[in-house]
Amino acid sequence: MRRGEGIIGIGEALRIETSGATRIEDAARAWRTVAAAADVDDRVGLPGSGLVAFGAIAFADESAATSVLVVPEIVLGRRDGRAWVTRIERADAASEPPAPVELPAPAPKRDVPRVRFDPGSVPPEAYTAAVEEAVRRIDAGEFEKVVLARELRGRLQEDAGLRAALAKLADDYPDTWVFAVDGLIGASPETLVRVDHGTVSARVLAGTASRGADAASDRAQAARLAASHKDLAEHALAVESAVLTLAPHTARLDASPEPFTLQLPNLWHLATDLKGTLGDGSSSLELARAMHPTAAVAGTPRDVALRAIAELEGFDRGRYAGPVGWVDADGDGEWAIALRCAQVEPDGTVHAYAGCGIVHDSVSAEELAETDMKFRPIVEAFGAPPPSPPVPPVAPVE
């Protein structure tokens, strides 16, 4: 969901699980087979109408987490002032004429659960030590940038459910992509890739600043970010890698000429929007496979950065920083990068994640503070106090 529009799935008609280095292409291939066999009656023709699968993909090839595509039984959608219901049935289950769509009663509305978060496997001192080691390796010329993350752990009461947390994310962060797929819940400001009727688009983020305490200092923070050599260099790496990756799949690809400052309630980001025309008939999931992992969540060069993450980070990212989104029967879809998020396990354990791009002039204490800002949406959605003092609301800045 974003700005009150999007799709919600109920039930599970089909589940495709994959893992390992080929997890995205295996899922994409399985989805092509399902979509080719499906009989789709879509009278709405908007993004997300008709047959869809929701997906959450593990970040790393070697992750113990499974990657999943879930085809719901019912989809509720709303876009461009229209609302629709899609029902999906398996051909092998439909022996009787389909009954009219009956929507289940909504889950009870509860208060936001109260989850207390503690450092998971990586305490703050271990995080700053890892950042310092990454900077040493960058200065030694091993790589240019690596993204290092932290994990916080909490416990959700068994009956609490995710509805209140999800509603809070959607209320507090309306400009982000709010998602909940197979226990992975969050509010991401960054798309990996979107495909809609032959149009390809993406929003690349890299470079972060805190919000100011009042309107003047807030504007100064944005201006400083837009002029910061460190952040602009980091941003340029991320845009370049996205453009190079999408180029072979697009007939034409334009990037906004200068990065713009994207204002979120918890921080500022440098952002670039990419837009182009699909050139090779790839599905959104196939493009997600080509794009993942971007420099925004892995680093540059990609392979060396991934090895450094495996060595320095100290935990399995699971589906954090992986693609999360949906794909339809034509291959159109929207994939965000799973950021500002948590994975809720069936036993109620909540793993929340946040990370930062480390470059040669990164300062470990500042990166630690930046992870706290990035944890804010998800820990507050679970009723925990913000890790850093909340920023008073200020007027939006052009």
Ligand X SMILES: C=C(O[C@@H]1C=C(C(=O)O)C=C[C@H]1O)C(=O)O
Q: Which residues bind ligand X (CB under 6 A)?
A: 147, 149, 190, 205-208, 269, 296-297, 339-340, 354-357, 374
Closest CA to 242 of 259, 267, 222: 259
Q: Could you tell me the smallest distance in angstroms from the CB atom of residue 41 to ligand X?
A: 39
Q: Which of 73, 190, 313, 334 is catalytic?
A: 190
Query: Which residue number, 53 or 336, has a Cβ lying nearer to ligand X?
Result: 336
- Considering the complex, what minimum distance in angstroms separates the CB of residue 127 from ligand X? 12
* Of 54 and 375, CB closest to ligand X: 375
Q: Which is nearer to ligand X, 27 or 336 (CB)?
A: 336
Catalytic residue list contains 190: yes
Q: Would you say 278 or 359 has its CB closer to ligand X?
A: 359
366 catalytic? Reply is: no
Minimum CB separation from ligand X for residue 353, in Å? Answer: 6
Shortest Å, Cβ 171 to ligand X: 20
Report how far residue 166's alpha carbon sits from residue 266's, in angstroms, rounded to the nearest whole number.
17
Active-site option among 73, 145, 151, 334: 145
The candidate with the shortest Cα–Cα distance to 352, out of 161, 167, 145, 122, is: 122
Tell which residue, 9, 79, 93, 88, has the closest CA to residue 44.
Answer: 79
Instruction: Using the minimum distance from each CB to ligand X, give the nearer residue, 206 or 384.
Output: 206
**CB-wise, 31 or 268, nearer to ligand X?**
268
Report, in Å, the least distance between residue 190 CB and ligand X.
5
Going by C-alpha positions, the residue among 370, 375, 296 that lies closest to residue 120 is 375
Task: Give min distance, CB of 150 to ligand X, in A.
Answer: 9
Q: How far is the CB of 295 from ligand X (least distance, A)?
A: 9
Of 253 and 295, nearer to ligand X (C-beta) is: 295
Residue 219 phi/psi, 5° resolution? -65, -40
Active site residues: 145, 190
